[in-house]
Amino acid sequence: MGLNKNNGLNKLMGDLDLVYSKELGLDVNQVSQIAVDKIHANPFQPRKHFDAQALEELANSIKEYGLLQPIVVLKKDENSFVLIAGERRLRASKALGLKKIAAFVADVDEDKLRELALIENIQRENLNPIELAHSYKSLIEEHKITQENLAQLIHKGRTQITNTLRLLNLDEKTQELIAQGKISQGHAKVLVGLEKEDEQAIANSIIGQKLTVSQTERLVRDLKNKGKSGSGESEELDRGVVEIKKILEEYGFRCESKGEKLTIHLTNADKIKKLLEILNF
């Protein structure tokens, strides 16, 4: 589906209040009080991490001033609702022990749940870089649009979209560190493209030594330069081991070589004596 055919997605990218009132078929002036234990999380919610301190602050705000913005739910039946927007508000309300919560009840096809969760979170800019990357990826795949199309839709630079998506090429452990905020997106960009072992080692260094982005870039640059200069030496060493193996085999020794490693089987005292002679001991 190209950008010119994507009118529905364009509409969903608009102002959220308009989305809720027009696209979801609800009246923003009509709010229902719904039992919190009847509301289930949207299975397509891209957001997985919730800051405990931020939730506590939100809960305190709700306790003092009340819930200023109702959540949005989809009605499945009389005793079951699916959350579309407002998971932080719902979690904070549950933490306060509230039995009911103010909610807009949307009339929308269940197939739109995933799309709505993605748009709601992207628009509110409350996803960590990894969650945002998954949201971008899902929108691109589901709507068959390019990164350029997506950049236009959400008013962000294509380079920013590309750099965010590249984070998904990192090891899952590294992605988790980014999601937890232990490694910034600036640090993470430097790690993309490294061998997994090097990636993990530098990720640990970023956290353990509290490296800045520039220090991390320098470390990665030194690592790459070291690899280039050492590759020729390694190949030469491997060839040397093969040559030694060949010479020893001519003297009747049984040898095995693997890369830089040479194994010589010395089965008796005569073999040891012979080897010492060859080595001029």
Q: Any catalytic annotation for residue 87? A: yes
Q: Could you give the CA distance from residue 94 to residue 100 in angstroms, rounded to a whole number?
A: 9
DSSP 150-186: HHHHHT--HHHHHHHHHGGGS-HHHHHHHHTTSS-HH
Q: Could you give the CA distance from residue 55 to residue 126 in angstroms, rounded to a whole number?
A: 13
Q: Please tell me what DSSP assigns to residue 250.
A: H
Helix axes 113-124, 129-143, angle to 10 degrees: 140
Residues forming beta bridges with residue 100, ordered by sequence position = 35
Q: Provide the token pair at 173.
A: 């452990």
Plot region of 280 (φ>0 → left; ψ -120 to 50 → alpha; else → beta): left
Closest alpha carbon to 73 in 60, 63, 86, 64: 86
Q: Could you give the CA distance from residue 74 to residue 104 in angstroms, rounded to a whole number?
A: 9
Closest alpha carbon to 29 in 14, 12, 17: 17
The secondary structure element, H or E, covering residue 135 is: helix 129-143
Contact present, 175 and 33 (Cβ < 8 Å): no
- Amino acid at site 50: F
Catalytic residue among 87, 115, 120, 131: 87
Contact present, 49 and 128 (Cβ < 8 Å): yes
Residues labelled as active-site residues: 87
